[in-house]
Structure 1
Amino acid sequence: MDLTLRTQVRSWALAALLASVAPNALAQSTTGPLIPIDLERLRFNPAATDSMLVDTGNVLPEGAYRLMLMANYERGILLLKGSDGPERSIIDYRVAGWLAGAWSPTDRLELSARLPVIIHQGGSGADSLVGISEPRSFGLGTPELGARYALLRREEGAPVFLSLGLDVGTPGGTASAFGRQQGWAGLQVAPRVAVSRELGPIVLGASAGVRIRSTENEPGRDFGTELEQGIVVSTRGKGLRAEVALQAAESLVEPDIALELLGGVRMPFGGGFEAFGIVGHGFTDIPGTPSIRAAAGIAWAPETAAKEDVCRSGRSHTPEQCPANDDDGDTVPNGQDRCPLEAGPPENDGCPDTDSDGDGVVDREDACPNEAGVAENKGCPDTDSDGDGVVDREDACPNVAGVAAHRGCPEPKPEPKPVPQAPPPAAPSRLPTEHHVQFPVGQSTLSDSERRNLDAVADYLKANPSVSLRIEGHTDNTGPDELNRTLSQDRADAVRQYLIQQGIESRRLTAKGFGPDQPIASNETPEGRSANRRVEFVTSTTGE
């Protein structure tokens, strides 16, 4: 064989060898196999009580339901980088249909179902990566069943709507179309909590939960359980409504987070029907987060008959059903009335007053509720320490027997003087200890005039060493009861301290604050409240 022929044979052999190895040499590879995952990240609320996109804690009323049909378009939802560096858009677009509905079979409970269908999807670049198959263009997404239970409701007086929810992704999605997780047969569990509050014409809502599912080891990134959060601002009303929501999913198997900003509008057009539209933009390249989203659909939610208002006049109900009513007519609403079916004064929380000792002084005003007494002595029995027939509260000399004409004091003896003596001065019409010490609103400071009155009390006590005082402080009903009781004690202590400073032994003085519990006048007028802001004295005697 000549040299020319041998050269040609070698050239043909080299060309055949290059042809056999070229495909493998030129194909790009990934860091591992591509395992099917559930790429759908659109989270929406089939009931759409306040928001279409975020659970707000406000469930459907009992017996109500809502059905919806929606078409959804997404762009750029699965990007994969090969060993050569550039990213391939394995699924560049997806068109999916959703059939969903929600129903409230009983009070506080709402059930829901969602069925996604991947109508068509496609991309490019899968055939340029070793071991990567092009995803199926048609399939079924992960069907979901859900339940929500309302813990708090605004119509019942709660400050917010609050609910607990649970979604369960069931087997059935098409794995080769990236419609479900590969592991756990596609099962997913997503508990969450949701809350919202109306502020005028808008609603602020938020939800937080976790989507628990199998972990799939994808090239360059693992995909699995995620924390899901959503916040929304939506308008209220029966006409055109709008909302803006931010949905986030923080991976628990990778240090990243998926973010998507969504906006929606909805408009009713009669018969319980409404049309709606949604647009969105994703801020990350995490699988399932679209760069662009657009969705539109129609929903039907017929109005349910309003429940009978049992709280209207003449309707049979219990006080608990109608806390704003006043069933016993005592001006205290059922919700605040300790005895909602028995009329009683507001001062006794709506319960009838009782008089355990039958002395005509009701127990809440009776200082001795188990001993019959007189109203002038706050329901306590009268005592006559010196046995002169003049009760202590009227006796100017309670420890010395006297006569009624001299208010219980002994009749003065005439001095044996040859000249006529002037008649003894008449007994004082009012003892110093009968004075009520007055205080300004909210204060326990003694005025100069009250200090002079207390000087007279101190002089009287010095002249009557067997007399002891119980110093009782009182307030009007303005302000919280606990604060008033503290203020009344401060007032009684201030009087006691002043008397001690004037030379009265502390053992003869006790101080007790009663707050607003023992008024002597009506708290409905400024004059009555002024009279109730007082310190008064109760005297007692000890044997000499």
Structure 2
Amino acid sequence: MDLSMRTQAPCRALAALLAVFLAPSALAQSTGTIIPIDLERLRFMPGATDSMLVDTGHVLPEGGYRLMLMAGYERGILLVEGGDGVERNIINYRVAAWLAGAWSPTERLELSAKLPVIITQGGEDVTALVGVTEPKSFGLGTPEVGARYSLLRREDGAPVFLGLGLDIGLPGGTASAFGRQDGWAGFQIAPRIAVGREVGPLSLGASAGVRIRSTEVEPGRDFGTELEQGVVVATRGEGLRGEVALQAAESLVESDIALELLGGLRLPLGSGFEAYAMAGHGFTDIPGTPSLRINAGIAWAHTPPAREDPCKGGRTHTPEQCPDLDDDGDTVPNGQDRCPLEAGAVENQGCPDKDSDGDSVVDREDACPNEPGLPRYKGCPAPDADGDGVPDDEDACPKEPGDKANRGCPAPKAAPDSDGDGIPDDKDACPKEPGDAAHNGCPAPEEKPAEQTPPQEEAPNGPPMDHHVLFPTGEFALQEEEKQQLDGIAKYLKAHPRLSVSIEGHTDNTGPEELNRRLSQQRADMVRRYLIQHGVAGSRLVAKGYGPSRPLNGNGTPEEQRLNRRVEFITKPTGKAPKR
């Protein structure tokens, strides 16, 4: 006998399915034995938080539970076409019942269980069909346990409910009554994701998942793993509620899709009881999709008392629970406060201001956050052109090293000593040339090299040490004209061995400050290195860069910036001449 399961044309677009109601395609004739399969396609939610029929991601409150008993009638469940071309309703009707329940042991988690019972079913006489055994009229469907976990919740301020679900079909169904799959001992697994949201008086929801189960090879088609989707629109409120849902199951082993439209009503009876009813119509002849479905039942739900608002009356709470409060008292609400438990500044989004360099100027207002400075200089060190530790604005001699006791000026001397050899000019036979007391302030004859030339006279415009070595923007290499000036400075220093020199590098204010400080040090180091190469003892030379912190006359014009890209010299006597 040739048998085939009647199928529909493949169609993947749900909207197109509704438009054309899945026009059936031609069926091929084949011969084989019908293997028992799980024909039940009704998917319902025991917790029924927003919908009885589609998961919306909204789980029962912690400690809540719902028990339900439901009975139903289905018609037109399994059609078979014999080799004689005649279609027969192998299972034309089924009366079934479900005992189900859901419970939320902890926040965000809901557990459920379903036990379907096939009370009676029947169809046309199939004794004349080869390979077909009349299904048993009574048996169990596939028992199922499930879990749902809420990833996002509206009560926490999320824009939608978002949840994960997992249903597991267990052995126990009666295969000969088409209550379970023949393979895998009847095991099934159905993971899904669900989303929902309230819109005015309505709740909207959608879910998508896959039901993984054994593949049964049937005459004319295969039956097995399917993609499952559902959408629902349900009313909200305390009284009579209604909903309309569309459930679809697309086979991954055949080119067909099952589609069923269902509606439901729910009526509270008081004391936690609720009566409900649902009805549906299938648009395809895929096995298990009834042409008519009617279900009714009663449920009892326990809803734990609503929790007290933790944000009222000084109750214990977390900042996340109460975004409108100000737990740290800094006038920034918890929801906008980056440090909700630590008082801070409004300008710093509620977090305390840091002072990395400990100069009492907070980092967000400190122009030099890693270098101690003064508030009047925006947290940067005070300019000190002569490096004597006395700021320029307090230094009576800003270009001459001194001490604080003398307001930045050198300590007064009893008598002038032009050559710095420790012998006053009025007792120095050589007041312009360093010497010693044994020779009345003149150099010892044996200390003068034969080839030594007389000390270079000061230039008409002043000592060579007053010269500023200038540099192009961003460079520290010496220009040829500056090298000529440095040659004269080297001769002058060799002629005055008792002088030590502070070589100070500077930049204009263009570019990052840290880069300018490094560039000013490179300029000072380059000049020092040149003088050492031309015979000046390195022990007499100290190089230090100050970046843009010590401008000559500001940085407002290109000319002022050019004069600030400089190295200048600060001289002071060392007390004794270096050894030759």
Q: Same fold (TM over 0.5)?
A: yes
- Report deviation, 1:102: 0.3
- Aligned equivalents of 2:358 and 2:260: distance in 1? 75
Q: Which residue of structure 2 aligns with residue 383 of structure 1?
A: 383
- Report deviation, 1:192: 1.4
Q: Which residue of structure 1 aligns with residue 124 of structure 2?
A: 124
Q: How many residues align?
A: 394
Q: Which residue of structure 1 aligns with residue 66 of structure 2?
A: 66
- Aligned equivalents of 1:132 and 1:358: distance in 2? 91
Map of 1:323-342 to 2, 5 A cutoff? Answer: 323-342=323-342
Q: Is the 8 A contact 1:173 1:179 kept in 2?
A: yes
- Report deviation, 1:260: 0.7
Q: Which residue of structure 2 aligns with residue 183 of structure 1?
A: 183
**Residue 468 of structure 1: which of 501, 508, 514 is its match?**
508
- Report deviation, 1:180: 1.2
After superposition, the CA RMSD in angstroms is 3.3
Q: Which residue of structure 1 aligns with residue 256 of structure 2?
A: 256
- Report deviation, 1:285: 0.5
Q: Which residue of structure 2 aligns with residue 86 of structure 1?
A: 86
- Aligned equivalents of 1:283 and 1:125: distance in 2? 25
> Is the partner of 2:127 in helix, strand or coil?
helix
Per the alignment, do residues 382 and 99 of structure 1 end up closer, same or farther by CA in structure 2, a change over 3 Å counting? same
Per the alignment, do residues 111 and 399 of structure 1 end up closer, same or farther by CA in structure 2, a change over 3 Å counting? same
- Report deviation, 1:104: 0.7
Is 1:300 aligned to residue 300 of structure 2? yes
Q: Is the 8 A contact 1:374 1:382 kept in 2?
A: yes
Q: TM-score, normalised by structure 1?
A: 0.66
- Report deviation, 1:394: 12
Per the alignment, do residues 343 and 40 of structure 1 end up closer, same or farther by CA in structure 2, a change over 3 Å counting? same
> Is the partner of 1:155 in helix, strand or coil?
helix
Is 1:199 aligned to residue 239 of structure 2? no
Per the alignment, do residues 374 and 82 of structure 1 end up closer, same or farther by CA in structure 2, a change over 3 Å counting? same
Q: Which residue of structure 2 aligns with residue 133 of structure 1?
A: 133
Q: Deviations over 1:80-131 (max 9, x none)?
A: 0001112101111111111111001112211101111112212114233223
Q: Which residue of structure 1 aligns with residue 351 of structure 2?
A: 351
Instruction: List runs of 5+ in structure 2 lacking aligned partners.
Output: 2-28, 401-505, 513-554, 569-580
Q: Deviations over 1:407-436 (max 9, x none)?
A: xxxxxxxxxxxxxxxxxxxxxxxxxxxxxx
Map of 1:136-215 to 2, 5 A cutoff? Answer: 136-215=136-215
- Report deviation, 1:173: 1.3
Map of 1:125-524 to 2, 5 A cutoff? Answer: 125-319=125-319, 321-357=321-357, 359-385=359-385, 468-470=508-510, 504=558, 508=561
Per the alignment, do residues 133 and 370 of structure 1 end up closer, same or farther by CA in structure 2, a change over 3 Å counting? closer
- Aligned equivalents of 1:205 and 1:393: distance in 2? 73
- Report deviation, 1:308: 3.7
- Report deviation, 1:389: 13
- Report deviation, 1:318: 4.1
Per the alignment, do residues 281 and 469 of structure 1 end up closer, same or farther by CA in structure 2, a change over 3 Å counting? same
Q: Is the 8 A contact 1:198 1:204 kept in 2?
A: yes
Q: Deviations over 1:265-287 (max 9, x none)?
A: 21212111112111111111010
- Report deviation, 1:177: 1.4
* Bigger CA radius of gyration: 2
Map of 1:50-65 to 2, 5 A cutoff? Answer: 50-65=50-65
> Is the partner of 2:185 in helix, strand or coil?
helix
Q: Deviations over 1:45-91 (max 9, x none)?
A: 11011111011111111110011111111110100000111210111
Map of 1:7-22 to 2, 5 A cutoff? Answer: none
Q: Is the 8 A contact 1:399 1:542 kept in 2?
A: no
Q: Which amino acid aligns with 2:287?
A: P
Q: TM-score, normalised by structure 2?
A: 0.62
Per the alignment, do residues 177 and 470 of structure 1 end up closer, same or farther by CA in structure 2, a change over 3 Å counting? same
Q: Which residue of structure 1 aligns with residue 489 of structure 2?
A: none
- Report deviation, 1:340: 2.6
Q: Which residue of structure 1 aligns with residue 447 of structure 2?
A: none
Per the alignment, do residues 284 and 468 of structure 1 end up closer, same or farther by CA in structure 2, a change over 3 Å counting? same
Q: Is the 8 A contact 2:61 2:303 kept in 1?
A: no
- Report deviation, 1:133: 2.2
- Aligned equivalents of 1:92 and 1:151: distance in 2? 42
Q: Is the 8 A contact 1:399 1:541 kept in 2?
A: no
- Aligned equivalents of 1:390 and 1:132: distance in 2? 109
> Is the partner of 1:364 in helix, strand or coil?
helix
Per the alignment, do residues 540 and 337 of structure 1 end up closer, same or farther by CA in structure 2, a change over 3 Å counting? farther
Q: Is the 8 A contact 1:385 1:541 kept in 2?
A: no
- Aligned equivalents of 2:90 and 2:232: distance in 1? 32
Per the alignment, do residues 394 and 222 of structure 1 end up closer, same or farther by CA in structure 2, a change over 3 Å counting? farther
Per the alignment, do residues 278 and 393 of structure 1 end up closer, same or farther by CA in structure 2, a change over 3 Å counting? farther
Q: Which amino acid aligns with 1:162?
A: L
Percent sequence identity over aligned pairs: 73
- Report deviation, 1:204: 2.1
Q: Is the 8 A contact 1:342 1:351 kept in 2?
A: yes
Per the alignment, do residues 385 and 103 of structure 1 end up closer, same or farther by CA in structure 2, a change over 3 Å counting? same
> Is the partner of 2:171 in helix, strand or coil?
coil
Q: Is the 8 A contact 1:98 1:116 kept in 2?
A: yes
- Aligned equivalents of 1:342 and 1:181: distance in 2? 60
